[in-house]
Structure 1
Amino acid sequence: MKGYRRFKPQQRRVAYFTIEMGLEPEIPTYSGGLGILAGDTVKTFADLKYPAVAVTLLNEKGYFYQDLEKDGNQREAPVDWDFKSQLQPIPEKVTVNLEGRDIIVQGWVKPVEGVAGDVVPVIFLDTNLEANNMLDRGLTSQLYGGDLRYRLMQEAILGVGGARLLQVLDHDNLGSYHMNEGHSALLTLELMDRYEGDLERVRRLCVFTTHTPIAAGHDTFDLELAKAVLGEMFDVESLKHDNIVDERNLLNMTYLALYHSGFINAVGKMHGEVTKRMFPHYDINAITNGVHPNTWVSEHMAKVFDRYIPQWRTDPYTLRNALRIPKKKLCGAHHKAKKELIDFINHHYKSGFEYDALTMGFARRAATYKRADLLFQDTQRLKDIVSREGKLQVIYGGKAHPQDEGGKQLIRKVFKHFKEVEDKIKVVYMKNYEIFTAKLLVAGADLWLNTPKKPMEASGTSGMKAALNGVINFSVLDGWWLEGYVKDYTGYSIGSPTREETADEEDADDLYTKLEGDILPTYYGNRRKWEEMMVQNIALNGSFFHTHRMVSQYVIQAYSR
């Protein structure tokens, strides 16, 4: 079977739309957790033999390459990746009329193969064609690039162009269009036009996952801009109501997706409660995120799992049997992963990290609510604790959005704190944090730190990846950790377990108290307890917080309505 039809499009039941897609290091079309989750989801569709197709943007210049100066100042450069060696062209094309002119859209496909050989096609949309003008050729070039006009046009290419290309490719039997965040919400207008305004039919087709309570995560556009860009597609008079337009009289893409979706979900139990307060007129479900075990378990740990739990790759629930694996084997695998991490850090950063020192990892987008600087609230107290209780070394990673000055300032602040503690604590900030370095860090750290401002953490999947590798979590009780934390078994908490909001000073005080009174004494003085917690983390959290469970929930609750 030649061309795209070899993927049997008429048998595909779900179309998964996402502006980011994090499949592998060689395809840098992601910025953070949203894209990595999308990649993990697609891999799991393939593992579970679920007939899906995914749609994203090509982004041939990637997100950006991050370089960091000595003071932590972030510099960005485009990432030109060889997409023609990674993807296969799709000859069929569609047009999307924006600003009164037709823009031609083509696709490239990446087959993602599951553990049993089943394939899910991922379509990357591309406007860099000679028939388009220079502005339009760049619409699919850079993830989250440009101004609001660029972003709106980009989202129209994703939602409208993606839906039209699927139709041309004979995806005639789709039962669900799953919008991974609001960037693809314009596909709902395409479906409303296709089905002649049948709102109930469109709602039966549409699934919407919202990922953040942060305002910046919900795209909004001026109504005049929307009319100028979208033209007849956006009927201001029929759509200008509270369900689509927010209190500032802006087109809100989250509102657009909510209004047209028959199934809506948040990505964690607490996030579900927060989202219900944000959007009280909608029925909000909660499906907690997960991670793809085959991707995130280190090769050293995977060898142990293969020997003692041979079915873990197809059935991650069996990781609960980690309790039966000799601790020496699991801890030995982690030791190898840690050595690999330390060797990498010392080779690239000449930082003199030690194999036997407690190694803490902190890596995520450099957004201010993540509070990357909480560890350094009182640097003298931190140094005193380390002097008394034992060595500590810390590895940071994460990018700030090019237009997020607050995030950039946060990185500079962390670098400033590094200088304050480096006489007692070895510290390093990995530049250009991406899939390869993430796999090293989540597998090789001893302790995974997460310090978001409650209740702003929707999920926090990096901690799930760490748990799969026996890395102990040390986190604010927000996001997934509210569900994964079991005192004395899976890790340590930071802050009040009952109050929804706490002050930075209060959380920092609890962090230092736990570090001094529990964590460092246990790591250096009670290895048996520490290793027991490592195993429990795999058995309790690794066996549950995975995308096999998550996708199965989507199939039952969202796709089979």
Structure 2
Amino acid sequence: MKAIRRFTVRTVLPEPLRRLEELILNLRWSWHHETLDLFRSVDPALWEAVGHDPVRLLGEVAPDRLRRLASDRRFLRMLHDAADELQDYLTADRWYQSLPDAPRAIAYFSPEYGITTSLPQYSGGLGILAGDHLKTASDLGVPIIGVGLLYRHGYFTQSLSPDGWQLERYPPIDPNGLPLTLLREEDGTPVRVSIGLPQGRDLHAQVWLVRVGRVPQLLLDSDVEDNDQAARDITDRLYGGGGDHRLLQEMLLGIGGVRAIRAYCRITGHAAPEVFHTNEGHAGFLGLERIRELVAEAGLTFDEALEANRAGTVFTTHTPVPAGIDRFPRELVRKYFGGVNEEKGIPADRVLELGAEDYPGGDRTVFNMAVMGMRLAQRVNGVSRLHGEVSREMFGGLWGGFDTAEVPIGSVTNGVHAGTWVAREVLELAARRVPSVLESAQGWEGVRDVPEGDIWRVRRTLRARLVAEARRRLRASWRQRGASDAEMSWIDDALDPDVLTIGFARRVPSYKRLTLMMRDPERLRAILLDPERPVQIVIAGKAHPADEGGKRLIQEIVRFADGEDVRQRIVFLPDYDMALGQCMVQGCDVWMNNPLRPLEACGTSGMKAALNGGLNLSIRDGWWDEWFDGQNGWAIPSADGLAAPERRDALEAAALYELIEDHVAVMFYDRDGGPPRRWLEMVKHTIATLGPKVLASRMLRDYVQEYYVPAAASARAMAAGGYSGARRLAAWKERVRKAWPGVAVEHVESTGEETLHVGARLAVRVVVDLGGLDPGDVAVEAVYGRVDAADAFIAPSYLELAAAEQAEDGRLRYAGEIPLARSGPFGYSVRVVPSDPGLAGQAELGLVALPPAPQGMTNGNLR
């Protein structure tokens, strides 16, 4: 007989141990080794049995053990030291507190967060990045409030069938068994937020509060008695369901999330956010809620509220492929934002315009969440330099008329949280040998002086730990697949702590090419079983439950790894999670990544491996394209542009095999009686050069200085004087848009073409019809520079021309001199663009007036 309901009964701690709860309810323990040592000392065997989950630890520890600890002076001293140190950490000024005019608070919205394995609210890289963002904000003192959903079944746990097919299970999660508390009103009642549904119904949610160091994280949960069963199931699982279900999750995240923040700030006195950061399009509806607030509370029009909202909003896109974006039928969105749900001043048609793909090649039948997110944000970024380029191409239609390079999508390359991902042994070695790495970016050069023997011993320790964990997980997996003890005896010798170990772990969409390594199975087998330079590969990854193709790829790799001749050298470990990820990035010598370029937005696993002394073997995609220098790993040649996928895979697989055989393995086993000197020189170079770049502290400083601070300044300018800035900008934009069809470049001429040489100046004169706009509403620019064979500019420069005099019929003449600074093919054109101090950039409105072809280009060769 089974229980009809499962819940967690928490232990009552003896008074001397009460501060244990204080430590457990702040997730800083997940990256603070001294606190983890304290938890381990409660009951070392039980600590391992509960998977390093302190809530479960206290729930299962014997009462007699707690009574003994309550009188154990050594343990109590450790407890009070840890709790006092936590309080110091939470209250001391940090980097952010030294910044002038920084935002008072920033709201950060994400559909998933990877904080710790004990809080399973993540599926992959987006969530892990969000978790590292919050942890780093805590370390740097950045006043972020995180917002997400609490999924009662989280993401699925993965197992394998006897024939290697992925199986999914969604175990229930009891919030009372997690390190979080309900957000409550002053009278003790739980906070409730609600959003309107069709037929006059409401969707209600309670709010769970998670402490991530200094950062409060609010997780909304619809499993409350006020809802019917369908509404209670809205937050059932991460990325579950489709259609209405998924849309309601995203409405609750965005709209309910803003309301949860308002309640939290009201109850706690926390500063209200000045900047809202939307981590992917899933949370895009937060902008609509902020517009609703401004319309209802400040009396703004929709357009005025839109400008006030945009000024303080940052949108980060994480996908380089359209399939990775949530798109809903337009009529479904109308169902939830029209009719009785239509808010006063927020017409459903205006909502639909925000997500419309009304650009060339767009699908007019869908509502695109990323498009809405970009229209609701004044600042947009990708997550690596290459991804920024891909995003400008992918979303360029939103800023029609501008060249791809001018599309206002920047980039902040992701980073990783060292406290979470770097092995304790590495941190301790750094503290002994190069404490300067903890103080400045320049200090990383000291890594080159660390004795090679010290690094080699640490690497061997971490590799051995990975081997032990892999064997444990293999045994559990084979038992679950139905194997007997006799059939599992080989696992005792699976993998070898002294063999070159390559890691490959990630989600399993087709573009990440899990099975590229198996393109030539016989060659892979020869690499694995080489008698002099053997290689072993540890693989992990989950396919989305609806991705049958991804599941087939997993089955293919599992069947190969099950082969009796190779299973001691290649293993697939099911149920990839943060704990396994930590073990793999710490224990692997090489991190392999072979996506279809340029479909990897960033990828951070290779960064984590590098910080632990691993080397990257990767296609030049994402962050690796940006920071590969020829000495910090190996770049797999990419056959970009080949139309035949089979041919491309064959070429890139052959290159991968050659690199492993002739370079990676040769260098790893080049011992000469001691540690591999050339290998360790490459390891030290990798850590010294990549260390300061791949840290999330660098990433978050970039966000603060390049996005949050400017966004806060813009938001303040819009809000000043009763939102007079927003009112003025909205009226100005409306006037410019109406007049723009009449703006024209009517005549362009230049003098001096007969003496073109480097150092000369080309005089340009332009006649422009402003269509009734004032000269201050526009900028008239000369665009100039080198051109290719088709007369397209190559990295052009821009020169604003000066209004010279009035021409006939109210037109204006503009003039300027173009400097001819370099030789070779050269050209110029002119354009008119809107110009206003309230704009983040000239492309913001997507409006540009160009001269009629072919007059706009005068080209020639500069001598």
Q: Bigger CA drift: 27-36 or 244-253? A: 244-253
1:195 and 2:340 matched: no
| Aligned residue in 1 for 2:384 | 268
Written as runs of structure 1 = structure 2, the 5 A alignment for 1:108-507 is 108-113=208-213, 119-170=214-265, 173-196=272-295, 197=302, 198-230=305-337, 231-232=341-342, 235-241=347-353, 244-245=356-357, 246-280=362-396, 281=399, 282-310=407-435, 312=437, 318-349=443-474, 350=491, 352-386=494-528, 387=530, 390-419=533-562, 422-423=565-566, 426-487=569-630, 489-496=631-638, 503-507=648-652
Is the Cα–Cα contact under 8 Å of residues 356 and 364 in structure 2 kept in the other structure? no
Q: 2:280 is matched by which residue type in structure 1?
A: E
Secondary structure, aligned partner of 1:525: coil
Q: Bigger CA drift: 509-518 or 386-395? A: 386-395
Find the aligned partners of 2:570 and 2:666 in 1 and give their Cα distance.
21
From 682, 692, 708, the equivalent of 1:543 is 692
Find the aligned partners of 2:445 and 2:209 in 1 and give their Cα distance.
36
CA offset at residue 447 of structure 1? 0.9
CA offset at residue 408 of structure 1? 1.1
Question: Could you list the per-position Cα deviations for residues 499-527 of structure 1 after superposition, in whole angstroms to 9, with x for gaps in the alignment?
Answer: 79981111111101111211111111251
Find the aligned partners of 2:541 and 2:662 in 1 and give their Cα distance.
29
Secondary structure, aligned partner of 1:130: coil
Structure-1-length-normalised TM-score: 0.93
Find the aligned partners of 1:298 and 1:242 in 2 and give their Cα distance.
45
Question: Could you list the per-position Cα deviations for residues 412-439 of structure 1 after superposition, in whole angstroms to 9, with x for gaps in the alignment?
Answer: 1222333569448611111111011111
Secondary structure, aligned partner of 2:601: coil
Q: 2:141 is matched by which residue type in structure 1?
A: K
User: Residues 421 and 188 (structure 1 numbering): CA distance in 2 closer, same or farther, change over 3 Å?
Assistant: farther
CA offset at residue 343 of structure 1? 1.3
1:534 and 2:646 matched: no
Residue segments in structure 1 that go unaligned for 5+ positions in a row:
114-118
User: Residues 19 and 311 (structure 1 numbering): CA distance in 2 closer, same or farther, change over 3 Å?
Assistant: farther
Is the Cα–Cα contact under 8 Å of residues 320 and 539 in structure 1 kept in the other structure? yes
Find the aligned partners of 2:699 and 2:230 in 1 and give their Cα distance.
39
Secondary structure, aligned partner of 2:118: coil
Q: Bigger CA drift: 192-201 or 432-441? A: 192-201
1:104 and 2:204 matched: yes
Q: Bigger CA drift: 476-485 or 410-419? A: 410-419
User: Residues 154 and 203 (structure 1 numbering): CA distance in 2 closer, same or farther, change over 3 Å?
Assistant: same
Secondary structure, aligned partner of 1:438: helix
Find the aligned partners of 2:148 and 2:439 in 1 and give their Cα distance.
26
Question: Could you list the per-position Cα deviations for residues 200-258 of structure 1 after superposition, in whole angstroms to 9, with x for gaps in the alignment?
Answer: 21111110000011223200001111122343257442244486344242010000000
Residue segments in structure 2 that go unaligned for 5+ positions in a row:
1-24, 27-86, 92-102, 185-190, 296-301, 400-406, 475-490, 711-863
Find the aligned partners of 1:315 and 1:105 in 2 and give their Cα distance.
44
Quote the RMSD (CA, aligned, Å).
2.4
Q: 1:342 is matched by which residue type in structure 2?
A: V
Secondary structure, aligned partner of 1:56: strand
Is the Cα–Cα contact under 8 Å of residues 591 and 615 in structure 2 kept in the other structure? yes
Is the Cα–Cα contact under 8 Å of residues 436 and 446 in structure 2 kept in the other structure? no
Is the Cα–Cα contact under 8 Å of residues 389 and 520 in structure 1 kept in the other structure? no
User: Residues 364 and 315 (structure 1 numbering): CA distance in 2 closer, same or farther, change over 3 Å?
Assistant: farther
| Aligned residue in 2 for 1:116 | none
Find the aligned partners of 1:178 and 1:557 in 2 and give their Cα distance.
13
Secondary structure, aligned partner of 2:219: strand
State the percentage of identical aligned residues: 36
User: Residues 388 and 477 (structure 1 numbering): CA distance in 2 closer, same or farther, change over 3 Å?
Assistant: farther
Find the aligned partners of 1:169 and 1:343 in 2 and give their Cα distance.
45
| Aligned residue in 2 for 1:44 | 136
| Aligned residue in 1 for 2:73 | none
Q: 2:681 is matched by which residue type in structure 1?
A: E
CA offset at residue 169 of structure 1? 2.3
Question: Could you list the per-position Cα deviations for residues 321-352 of structure 1 after superposition, in whole angstroms to 9, with x for gaps in the alignment?
Answer: 32222222222212111111111112332262
Question: Could you list the per-position Cα deviations for residues 59-78 of structure 1 after superposition, in whole angstroms to 9, with x for gaps in the alignment?
Answer: 12110111112332111111
Find the aligned partners of 2:663 and 2:151 in 1 and give their Cα distance.
46
Structure-2-length-normalised TM-score: 0.61
CA offset at residue 127 of structure 1? 1.1
CA offset at residue 390 of structure 1? 1.6
From 666, 669, 677, the equivalent of 1:521 is 666
| Aligned residue in 2 for 1:512 | 657
Q: 2:666 is matched by which residue type in structure 1?
A: P
User: Residues 315 and 152 (structure 1 numbering): CA distance in 2 closer, same or farther, change over 3 Å?
Assistant: farther
Give 1 or 2 for the bigger CA radius of gyration: 2
